[in-house]
């Protein structure tokens, strides 16, 4: 996926769908999410989402992925955490376990041993 891509990639979408399975209020929002920015850290990434929320409440919620992401070349696996502001997805953090490094490529991933349709 090239720079400036505003749509979710298959990897991000698979993670968000898995999180939304336990938090159904997120499901309806998945088709509306626009990517604002992606930052790769070498041990994971941050995907920030555009939000047009005008609320002044700024309520924060964190939803963790309840499964292990298996990625070729990442021996200890990966996890993810979604930050929502005022009920809307704001940032998806993807991270490695055990000090592993990740180059940002996501070909061949699975979640809990289940390869997802892409």
pTM of the model: 0.87
Question: What whole-number distance in Å separates Cα of residue 78 and Cα of residue 72?
Answer: 11
Residue 28 pLDDT exceeds 60? yes
Task: Give yes or no for residue 113 having a pLDDT over 90.
Answer: no
Residue-level pLDDT at 55 = 63
pLDDT at residue number 54: 64
Q: What is the mean pLDDT of residues 41-68?
A: 86
pLDDT at 118: 38
Pull the structure tokens for residue 36: 């604002």
Burial of 8 (0-12, 13-18, 19+ CB in 10 A): buried
Whether 86 shows a pLDDT value over 60: the answer reads yes
């Amino acid at each position: 996926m090239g720079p400036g891509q505003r749509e979710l990639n298959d990897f991000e979408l698979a993670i968000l769908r898995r999180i939304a399975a336990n938090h159904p209020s997120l499901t309806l929002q998945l088709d509306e999410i626009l990517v604002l920015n992606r930052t790769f850290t070498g041990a994971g990434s941050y995907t920030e989402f555009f939000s047009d929320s005008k609320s002044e409440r700024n309520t924060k919620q964190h939803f963790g992925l309840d499964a292990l992401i298996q990625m070729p070349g990442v021996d200890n696996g990966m996890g993810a955490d979604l930050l929502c502001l005022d009920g809307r997805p704001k940032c998806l953090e993807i991270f490695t376990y055990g000090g592993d490094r990740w180059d940002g490529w996501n070909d061949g991933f699975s979640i809990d041993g289940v390869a997802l349709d892409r």
